Structure 1
């Protein structure tokens, strides 16, 4: 049989082993098919390119009034503030936003992308770190490429290997700035509370820290870098490990504010006074950072603005090459850092 450039519904049904009616209900989200069958039909349709074609017809008819937003941790204030920017632009354009939570799991990310495509969103914004190993996101990249080829639009926040328009937080320079600040106070016994090294955000912020350390005659490789989940609970676990394994530490640099909040909680539970006995710094400057006790020294990123920029990119006409929008950063010095005690 000759290959068709635009597969028909019957092709999807045959490949998935279901009736045409069942395939149609699965792709439209209508009742009458099980989740397992619907998932199989959507997967086959995505492989054949049929979902993308349905999406393109939806766009052509002007009926798609929704966009998708995928975040790593829906409870992380970093993503909450990014979402606020996306929602603001969507409201101005008369669009609704479907939000999905991936938990930094590539398989979950792929499933969420497929669900958004099947729901015929106009555009997809993926917020959060990519993965250092490009192979991890290769299936998502293929899915998004088919979506874009058929008229959908994609933008990402953070460094990804997805071939899409991107808003790039100033992670490298920010990592350098926060480390320079801690060094300038006189700290040399510094520990880093980090998320998984497989994440590009973690890699970039640590690379910036290493630049600052080398300028001071030190190396990141000679200091503790404690990897835990890039979350508040992960910060708590990292701080307890630092106290146990590196008791002479005088400053902890957490690679996001959520981890820093966990670090502060762990130190408080152990009777360690901040900043008199231990300085703590974070990264992002989420809204709650200035209201902590003590208020958190951190790096400010324009998170709501990043969300706005990403959706605006996703709503533009496609360009020949992926567009890049870089952000700035600002060091915000508050009460959680001070010189080490003699």
Structure 2
């Protein structure tokens, strides 16, 4: 490929991709512009842009070294948006999660960022606050910023209109060359890391019946969140098939406080028991299970002596919970890494990767004999 000859610095070209046209007014005092770097290096603005913002055009090594030396001397900071325009895409991946304060999402995010760092990719984070509308807004904003890829981590909502709006945004992003992967239900038509929540919930419920539990209180979460719905359905199916359907089925927020409040109201009236056996509270995620344990203690009940509790996810913060919580372990950091790999690699067709969980029976649900 022929190298670009040195150009006179005085002939300023028309602005093109990756080139910021110099304002006829003076630059903001103290702000070093690309034009300043070009002048200091003795090259054209276009040459400086190709070196610093990226371009398919090859710049001679001597020119390149002069531009880089001038940029370092002037402490020039490249314009990330200009770089993205010049290259077609940036080296940034957008990660959209529902709630970064939830250890489930923060652990997935850590897995994404660890894998991204190894590929010299920057991750920018957007938080939806569990709002379908906010998720669409964030995806649209990241698309306008020309990020390389999008990762969506979190349950889908049982809302066809919101799902269709998100799918439209993702299709537009992909049509422009972007890549997308989801850690979610397989409903968006993109590469997906899929957790079989229904199957894993069934397995946990079956194990608990096998331990001798007969009365179950289900903290089923909100009806509009697909993950909560799938897990609750798996619990119900296994328990009903074994002749022990939940004696209480409590809809509540998919949070620690949601479970704490819902169970606290019930405890004020008293929990059911079967032949002196403690009931078992099944929560559709771990943070809800932690809220349930707190509510039980506040009501003067011992866990697991008076009530057993089980959750789902095996979030890292459980190592500090006593008694240790029975749950379904998901490899959350690995899931994040696998999702990043889906957008970091090319493939001829859409991929769906299945993730297996593992039931962990711990001190919060001791065997009943």
Report if TM-score (shorter chain) is over 0.5. yes
Counterparts of 1:226-305 in structure 2, within 5 Å, are: 226-244=250-268, 247-248=271-272, 250-305=279-334
Determine which of 338, 343, 346 is the counterpart of 1:314: 343
Q: Which residue of 2 aligns with 1:113?
A: 139
8 Å contact kept, 2:215–2:244: no
Q: Give the CA deviation at 1:60.
A: 7.2
Which structure ranks higher in relative contact order (CA pairs < 8 Å, sequence separation ≥ 6)?
Answer: 1
TM-score, normalization: structure 2? Answer: 0.72
Instruction: Find the aligned partners of 1:148 and 1:308 in 2 and give their Cα distance.
Output: 21
- Structure with a larger share of its residues in helix: 1
What is the CA distance between 1:245 and its match in structure 2?
5.6
What is the CA distance between 1:269 and its match in structure 2? Answer: 1.3
Is 1:157 the counterpart of 2:183? The answer is yes
In the alignment, structure 1 residue 82 sits paired with structure 2 residue 111: no
Task: Report the counterpart of residue 169 of structure 1 in structure 2.
Answer: 195
Question: For residues 235 and 146 of structure 1, what CA distance do their matches in structure 2 show?
Answer: 38
Contact kept, 8 Å, 1:187 with 1:340, in 2: the verdict is yes
Distance 1:264 1:137, change over 3 A: same
Question: Equivalents in 2 of 1:335, 1:275: separation in Å?
Answer: 7
Q: Is the 8 A contact 1:59 1:122 kept in 2?
A: no
Mark the structure with the bigger radius of gyration.
2
Query: Displacement of 1:316 after TM fit?
Result: 2.2
What TM-score, normalized by structure 1, do the two folds share?
0.78
Distance 1:266 1:109 in 2: 32
Specify the SS of the correspondent of 1:334.
Answer: coil
CA distance in 2, matches of 1:326, 1:278: 34
Q: Distance in 2 between matches of 1:61 and 1:175?
A: 46
**Residue 101 of structure 1: aligned partner:** 127
Give CA deviations for 1:282-322 in whole Å, capped at 9, x if unaligned. Answer: 100011213211111110001111101111112222533x3
Conserved? CA contact 2:221–2:251, under 8 Å: yes
2:237 pairs with 187, 208, 211, which one? 211
1:109–1:63 CA distance, 2 compared to 1 (3 A): closer
Query: Mind listing any 5+ residue stretches in structure 1 that lack a counterpart?
Result: 1-54
Q: 2:313, 2:327 within 8 Å by CA — same for their partners in 1?
A: yes
Aligned partners of 2:239 and 2:220: how far apart in 1? 16
Could you report, residue by residue, the CA deviation over 1:192-211 in whole angstroms, capped at 9, with x for unpaired residues?
11221221111211222133
State yes or no: 1:68 paired with 2:97: no
Moved over 3 A (4+): 57-60
Q: How much does 1:98 deviate?
A: 0.8
Q: Does 2:170 align with 1:141? A: no
The secondary structure found in structure 1 opposite 2:180 is: strand
Equivalent pair of 2:267/2:299 in contact (CA under 8 Å):
no
Corresponding residue number in structure 2 for 1:225: 249
Note closer, same or farther for the CA distance 1:336–1:59 as it changes in structure 2 (3 Å cut): farther
* Contact 1:69/1:126, CA 8 A, preserved across alignment: yes
Aligned residues of 1:176 and 1:211 also touching (Cα < 8 A): yes
Q: Which residue of 2 aligns with 1:330?
A: 358
